[in-house]
């Protein structure tokens, strides 16, 4: 391929896949099937705007793989939505779910609108109509395809989706499992909102706790004291910044589409969020310096750079100027394969999206399980654990004649709530996935980077579950 050729997002996913496929033993046909997008549904429907005009909306749902059911993946609202993008994102979902052992095929949806240009009433009409289009073609359902939030959508949109779905499917007992990322009052699970950002933190923390990996980068182990830059202050960026700050890292710069700010002493993402809410911009935050361009934040000196917005922000054009030691891909596809080649030369460790940002879908899986089981996590065992722990403490106190301190007692007595279980399930998932990928990477000298190792893991897992192709482990 010529140097100058530009690749689409989907082509870039395919390129990364092909790079990794060489390190697996599967025959070409199997690899072709894994790569292919199984179903693409492109729709157009009209809505009446608040001013009385009719607008035709373009939207998509892609099911990349049916090797497991249901398909799973978010819905984004963005001006940039197109078929290629949704296909790329659906593919990433397949690999992401495989890596973290979440038993779903990959899916993704998109509506080509800038939500800022629509009133809440218009957005509700668009979301409900989109849902009914999905129902019509059997592209949604707890056992078929389960959407979730993505760029430009959140709990509110998921509540509209579940409400539309349940009203069209009366009596369907598991209907709440047709979408995840719902408000807790509508069948959501506690801990879903912060899940992607918290997963990013757990994943990077695990990498930073690996002495041999840190040594190669010239960094000390641990999160404490590390400088972090976060691009994007949406749900994922906000929570990533929050968890890094709360664990002793310094968030020295934050970027949004209107600009970027810097403060060597560290920024508090919540104060910046409130400032942005009040003034409409991240810029002119008290104590911080405005950067000339928002992209400048990607090129500043720091230990950890977290791109948490959209795809293809680090390419062959700017990868040479990136000075971070670690890049944590919180967004989907923020770095292109050409950028990967440059990172390799510059000894930058890129921790890949398809597992690092899997916290969202992991907790979506917990939410879906909760919906199918119709019971809140912790409901059955919380009190039992607390009673048992109380008896153990009493026994220890009577045997030793000493009293356990009030603070320790409260910690030991505590039975797990839903949010405790969700966070611990997420922590376990991210730690296990990091170790699994690192093992593949560090035990094969020919595998050039962590992304390729992640793809190898994903390809092996998807291939072994293709029972209809006669492949058995």
Which residues form the interface with ligand GLU (CB under 6 A)?
72-74, 148, 150, 180, 332, 357, 360-361, 364
Residue closer to ligand GLU (CB basis): 73 or 188 = 73
Closest CA to 165 of 190, 183, 138: 138
Q: Work out how close the CB of 466 gets to ligand GLU at its nearest, in angstroms, rounded to a whole number.
A: 22
Phi/psi-derived region of residue 187, left when phi > 0, alpha when psi is between -120 and 50, beta in every other case: left
Residue pointed to by tokens 């004649």? 401
Q: What DSSP character marks residue 468?
A: G
First-to-last CA distance in the chain? Answer: 35
Q: Which entry of 108, 325, 370, 461 is annotated as an active-site residue?
A: 108
Whether omega before 70 lies within 30 degrees of 0, making that bond cis, reads yes
Q: How far lies 56's CA from each of 112, 117, 128, in Å?
A: 10, 15, 15
DSSP-assigned letters across all residues of 106-133 = EEEEEE---GGGS-HHHHHHHHHHHHHH
Q: Work out how close the CB of 440 gets to ligand GLU at its nearest, in angstroms, rounded to a whole number.
A: 21
What is the C-alpha to C-alpha distance for residues 131 and 441, in angstroms, rounded to an integer?
41
Q: How many CB atoms lie within 10 A of CB 277?
A: 8
- Whether 282 and 272 have beta carbons less than 8 Å apart is answered as yes
Q: Supply 313's token pair.
A: 């922000």
Q: Work out how close the CB of 357 gets to ligand GLU at its nearest, in angstroms, rounded to a whole number.
A: 6
Residue closer to ligand GLU (CB basis): 325 or 451 = 451
Residue pointed to by tokens 């969700």? 422
Closest CA to 181 of 192, 197, 194: 192
Residue closer to ligand GLU (CB basis): 325 or 423 = 423
What is the C-alpha to C-alpha distance for residues 216 and 214, in angstroms, rounded to an integer?
5
What is the C-alpha to C-alpha distance for residues 45 and 42, in angstroms, rounded to an integer?
10
Closest CA to 210 of 445, 437, 20, 454: 437
Q: Work out how close the CB of 328 gets to ligand GLU at its nearest, in angstroms, rounded to a whole number.
A: 15
Residue closer to ligand GLU (CB basis): 348 or 361 = 361
Active site residue 403: no
Q: Work out how close the CB of 74 gets to ligand GLU at its nearest, in angstroms, rounded to a whole number.
A: 3
Q: Supply 41's token pair.
A: 């549904």
3-state secondary structure of 247: coil
- Whether 105 and 465 have beta carbons less than 8 Å apart is answered as no
Any residues with CB less than 8 A from the CB of 398 and at least 6 apart, and which?
Answer: none
Residues paired with 106 in a beta bridge:
72
Q: Work out how close the CB of 175 gets to ligand GLU at its nearest, in angstroms, rounded to a whole number.
A: 17
Q: Supply 452's token pair.
A: 């390729």
Q: Which residue has the closest beta carbon to ligand GLU? A: 74
Residue closer to ligand GLU (CB basis): 74 or 337 = 74
Q: Supply 42's token pair.
A: 């492109």
Q: Work out how close the CB of 167 gets to ligand GLU at its nearest, in angstroms, rounded to a whole number.
A: 22
Q: Work out how close the CB of 325 gets to ligand GLU at its nearest, in angstroms, rounded to a whole number.
A: 25
Residue closer to ligand GLU (CB basis): 96 or 250 = 96
Residue closer to ligand GLU (CB basis): 195 or 342 = 195
Residue closer to ligand GLU (CB basis): 89 or 213 = 89
Closest CA to 457 of 472, 447, 467, 466: 447
Q: Work out how close the CB of 5 gets to ligand GLU at its nearest, in angstroms, rounded to a whole number.
A: 27
Cα 144 to chain center, whole Å? 21
Residue closer to ligand GLU (CB basis): 30 or 308 = 308
Give the DSSP H or E segment for 228.
strand 227-231
As annotated, the active-site residues are 108
């Amino acid at each position: 391929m010529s140097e100058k050729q530009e690749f689409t997002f989907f082509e870039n996913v395919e390129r990364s896949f092909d790079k990794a496929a060489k390190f697996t033993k599967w025959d070409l046909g199997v690899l072709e099937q894994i790569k292919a997008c199984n179903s693409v549904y492109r729709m157009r429907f009209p809505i009446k705007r608040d001013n009385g005009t009719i607008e035709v909306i373009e939207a998509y749902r892609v099911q990349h793989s049916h090797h497991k059911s249901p398909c799973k993946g978010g819905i984004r609202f963005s001006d940039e939505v197109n078929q290629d993008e949704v296909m790329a994102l659906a593919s990433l979902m397949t690999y992401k779910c495989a890596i973290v052992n979440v038993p779903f095929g990959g899916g993704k949806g998109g509506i080509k609108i800038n939500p800022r240009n629509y009133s809440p009433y218009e957005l509700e009409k668009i979301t409900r109509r989109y849902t009914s289009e999905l129902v019509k073609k059997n592209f949604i359902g707890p056992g078929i395809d389960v959407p979730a939030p993505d760029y430009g959508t959140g709990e509110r949109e998921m509540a509209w989706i579940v409400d539309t779905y349940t009203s069209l499917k009366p009596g369907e007992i598991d209907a709440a499992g047709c979408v995840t990322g719902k408000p807790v009052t509508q069948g959501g699970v506690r801990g879903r909102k912060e899940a992607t950002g918290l997963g990013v933190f757990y994943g990077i923390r695990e990498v930073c706790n690996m002495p041999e990996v840190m040594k190669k980068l010239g960094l000390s182990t641990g999160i404490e004291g590390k400088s972090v830059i976060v691009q994007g202050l949406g749900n994922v960026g906000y929570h990533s910044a929050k968890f890094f700050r709360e664990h002793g890292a310094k968030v020295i710069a934050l970027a949004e589409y209107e600009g970027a700010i810097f403060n060597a002493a560290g920024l508090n993402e919540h104060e910046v969020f409130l400032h942005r809410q009040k003034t409409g911009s991240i810029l002119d935050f008290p104590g911080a310096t405005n950067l000339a361009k928002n992209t400048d934040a990607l090129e500043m000196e720091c230990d950890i750079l977290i791109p948490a917005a959209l795809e293809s922000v680090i390419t062959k054009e700017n990868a040479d100027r990136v000075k971070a030691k670690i890049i944590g891909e919180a967004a989907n596809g923020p770095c292109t394969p050409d950028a990967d080649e440059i990172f390799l030369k510059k000894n930058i460790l890129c921790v890949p999206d398809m597992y690092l940002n899997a916290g969202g879908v992991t907790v979506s899986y917990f939410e879906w399980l909760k919906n199918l089981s119709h019971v809140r996590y912790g409901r059955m065992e919380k009190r039992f654990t607390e009673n048992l722990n109380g008896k153990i403490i009493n026994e220890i106190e009577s045997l030793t004649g000493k009293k356990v301190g009030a603070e320790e007692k409260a910690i030991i007595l505590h039975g797990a709530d839903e949010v405790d279980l969700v966070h611990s399930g997420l922590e376990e998932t991210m730690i296990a996935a990091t170790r699994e990928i690192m093992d593949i990477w560090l035990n094969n000298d020919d595998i050039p980077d962590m992304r390729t190792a992640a793809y190898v893991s994903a390809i092996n897992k998807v291939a072994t579950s293709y029972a209809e192709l006669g492949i058995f482990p």
